[in-house]
Amino acid sequence: MTAILIVEDEARIAAFVAAGLQAAGYTTHIESRGAGVSDVISAGGFDLLILDVGLPDLDGFDVLAQVRSAGHLIPVIMLTARTAVRDRVAGLEGGADDYLTKPFSFEELLARVRARLRAAGSDTAMVLHQGELQLDLRTRRATLAEVEVELSAREFALTEFFLRHPDQVLSREQLLSAVWGYDFDPGSNVVDVYVRYLRRKLGADVIQTVRGMGYRLASR
């Protein structure tokens, strides 16, 4: 199974990223400090590194330099609140493969992770399906009974999360965190709105309401 190392000192963001990646089928490991990351990579057999720039002990650029100087070719996606062009250039020229600024949506991070893993030959083809519903994660196509259904990026991400948890009751909070991100509003009704969208496109009975608990993808 593909393993991803997350180096992030903000516990809420690290947990959010790890939970989303695990739901997408990856294994994860979190480090909150930059010191020793190169050694962790050597020992852990990781396929990709998600590296925060603003670490408490070492600058993420210094960590990246250590990783590359040790000869590690692992793909690196850097996360940062810094938006200046010079910082992005410094990361990319320092050996990073991609650069994502905070705040970010998890679906964008996941797309970048998959792109980096494909380029490195570490990702496998993934098609999710339940009954007549099928999602091709590479082409981002959804089909129902072999007929293509046009889904928005957010609808696709929500459907993917349901397909990765078949027959499991998912709370609104779980869905908000996984699909809308770590800065979601727990009082929002956006999940209910998008469930209605999916029912119109995929069938009224495709997602069941479990009263007082959340939603479940129905067996078909």
User: What pLDDT is stored for residue 105 in this prediction?
Assistant: 87
- 23 contacts: CB under 8 Å, gap ≥ 6: 161, 164, 165, 178
- Which CATH fold would you assign to the domain 3-120? Rossmann fold (3.40.50)
Domain ranges of the chain: 3-120, 127-217
Q: What pTM was estimated for this model as a whole?
A: 0.63
* pLDDT for the residue 208: 92
Strand order in the sheet with 147-149: 127-130, 133-136, 141-144, 147-149
pLDDT at 150: 94
pLDDT confidence tier of residue 139, bands split at 50, 70 and 90:
confident
pLDDT over 80 at 91, yes or no: no
What pLDDT digit, counting tens, does each position of 165-177 carry? 878 898 888 888 7
Class of domain 127-217: mainly alpha
